[in-house]
Amino acid sequence: MRAAVCTAYGPPDVLQLRDVERPVPGDDEVLIRVCATTAHRGDVRIRSFDVPRGQRLMARLVLGFTRPKNPILGMELAGVVEGVGRDVTLFKKGDEVFGFTGWGLGAYAEYACVREKPRRSIAKDGMLAMRPANMSLQEAAAGVATGGATALRVLRKANIKRGQKVLVYGASGSVGTYAVQLAQSFGAEVTGVCSTANVELVRSLGADHVIDYTEQDFAEGESYDVVFDAVGKLTSSRGREALKKNGVYLNVNKDSGSGGGGSPDDLAFLTDLIELGKIRAVIDRCYPLEQIVEAHRYVEQGHKKGHVVVSMA
């Protein structure tokens, strides 16, 4: 099978297309013919070994010393079940599925194996769900199981009530696009903060108000019950400037915890919202697997809207 292999830590050019052996599913695994994956920010950080200096030794022990232990990156996927292990009961050949591969990665290939369900409540081992009926496979790959699940997990900490005012900083990104829609579905009055180029996108996601941070300081004027920094760029003190007394400040880096974006129950909850038309995926660009290097270059620029999809065909 074809796969994009990370031959070393470094710039996007270290990703090379190669023929590799097709994986064989374990007893509790599902073999998926991958139709779409993404150039996820997490994949970009692993490929470039973008790790804080004080964490680099531990990161090499976990990820691999000169290249990732699994050189086939890819955290998100959507595709068709090709085969199942003997203990799998939830999926069968021909099912169209989507999900998170877990820290084993492997989605930058024509076939990948994912556990039917994680061994723990949070999906370090990966998680799968049936494709929502109103989403294409490309849309299903675009962040539902990572950005969507992360946004849900963080926002639940605020216990948002109907009518509360919620501000999402970084509203056009992977987590932010889902956070805006989720907060809206919880009945909040939502304000999204983004750049000029993304104002209309954020408004189209259901934000009641949009602040262009190049024109206005989000902390001036209105105050909010919840401030969610969905890109992890604000200091805690800066984020709290816009909070009401007893308001809740959330930061994606500090409040999302470890492991995957969420749990299988989170994925089922998101799927229900998608099928009700309350949440949609945002796809900025779509590249074929042959252009995986260009996809990583684009994501590395830091200006993507939502998600960058990589198609196998």
Predicted model pTM: 0.94
Using one digit for the tens of pLDDT, what is the confidence trace for 210-252?
Answer: 999 999 999 998 999 999 999 999 999 999 999 999 999 999 9
Contact of 5 with 71, CB cutoff 8 Å: yes
Q: Which ranges constitute the DSSP H helices of 15-128?
A: 41-48, 56-63
Domains in the chain, start-ordered, CATH in brackets?
A: 2-143+281-311 (3.90.180.10), 149-255 (3.40.50.720)
- Find the helix or strand (DSSP H, E) in which 240 lies: helix 236-240
Using one digit for the tens of pLDDT, what is the confidence trace for 108-165?
Answer: 999 999 999 887 655 577 899 999 999 999 999 999 999 999 999 999 999 999 999 9
Supply φ then ψ for residue 255, to 5 degrees.
Answer: -110, 0
Residue-level pLDDT at 15: 98
Q: Which of 294, 313, 263, 249 is nearest to 119 (CA)?
A: 263
Residue 40: is its pLDDT beyond 80? Answer: yes
Supply φ then ψ for residue 265, to 5 degrees.
Answer: -65, -40
CA distance 24 to 21: 9
- Give the contacts of 273 (CB within 8 A, at least 6 positions apart): 181, 182, 185, 279
Residue-level pLDDT at 235: 93
